[in-house]
Chains A and B, each alone.
Chain A
């Protein structure tokens, strides 16, 4: 359905139109919030919050960007603000990975690489992790990322390069924890 028509119907109070907007975008937004939080409850929370805010502000949407871009901007804001509130979340998630990931061969076939890489991704700042997750994991294009984050496309590329560089540095450094475990 044409975006403008959908928005008009939503603003007129059409419940089916609201649900259509939700169905069109919920999967992608949920995937993004889950990738950033790694927690089902938080991902649901942030996804819900995104749509509640979007419906509340829809009357001020001017159509200068795609509706999807606008929705993702709200989702990014909700996630980043929410993560600041739950600071210790990522440390708990890393601990869980360490205790439950041993000996499991994932699709990559290298559990140690997976553990190290995931730990390294957790260590990235929220901003760098967001761009890395969006581009390298979820497949967003730089043009879309730049529009969502309201930054130049060059900034999106630069942040991604910085994130990749930090990840490579983490992976090439000897992992003192795993070496200790092997010795034991």
Chain B
């Protein structure tokens, strides 16, 4: 369709559109290599783990199992729980004590206040307790926790991409800080999970924790230099490529969040 070509002057002007500089080959290769090194440590998942249907199910199940096992291995005074159980059983009914320690899992789920059932979050009104130091860590494959981490990494990737593109500004900085603080809490939960037993994965979580903490402290009054310093840190740590390398194939931020921002 040569008859509809632009005029010669217009074609020449078009050649200058976003004219690229020489590619920084070594810098890009160093980051690719770093991300590949992280990737090589992941065990390739079985076929049924892949696909847009299965990984959210695995993530939800892992979180639910993690919360349940944490709740039921957490230790209040066992004697108190046993006493309540004994009293209730003498009365001919089994009701959930305030602190769930000895009850079988299925019965406890039925009595939890605000519970959505085995697949949903648990809210029994009691404060979350850290499991005692001597309680065993559950034996789930850490790979499951990595798939549970994928939504966190995807939201972090979006936040950091927008931050580095300069979308964070004094007018919406508090919104960014708030998002970063939320992601920081989730990152710290991952750091406490068995997934962080892997050294490379742990290093990624630590780097992410640091950057999110820095962004979380940004307010509208902090100088521009702070933002630039954080952006430089992102670059030097190759954090974005490393985050993307952790996400399952076919996972995009648009898919996870249900839309782009």
Contacts and interface: CB of A to CB of B under 8 A. Distances in A.
Do A and B pair up? The answer is yes
Interface of A: 18-19, 22-23, 26-27, 30-31, 34-45, 47-49, 51-53, 55-57, 81-82, 84-89, 92, 106-108, 110, 113-114, 117-118, 121, 132-133, 136-137, 157, 160-161, 164-165, 167-168, 171
B17 interface: yes
A86 B6 contact: no
Contact of A110 (B13, B27, B158): B13
Max chain A C-beta neighbours (<10 A), residue from B13, B35, B39, B162? B13
Contacts of B254: 81, 84-85
A52 B1 contact: no
A44 B21 CA distance: 11
Interface residues of B, number: 45
A85 B161 contact: yes
A53 B15 CA distance: 29
A39 B165 contact: yes
Nearest to B27: A44
Contact of B6 (A34, A45, A82, A167): A167
Max chain A C-beta neighbours (<10 A), residue from B1, B9, B28, B35? B28
A48 B165 contact: no
19 contacts: A30-B23, A37-B18, A38-B18, A39-B165, A42-B165, A44-B24, A48-B31, A49-B244, A52-B32, A56-B39, A56-B245, A84-B254, A85-B162, A85-B260, A86-B162, A88-B167, A113-B9, A118-B17, A118-B18
Contact of B17 (A22, A26, A117, A157): A117
Contact of A106 (B16, B39, B253, B261): B16
B13 A117 contact: yes
A47 B17 CA distance: 19
Given A22-B32, A108-B16, 17 more contacts: A35-B20, A39-B165, A42-B165, A45-B241, A52-B241, A52-B244, A55-B32, A55-B36, A84-B260, A85-B261, A107-B16, A108-B9, A110-B9, A136-B11, A137-B17, A164-B5, A164-B6
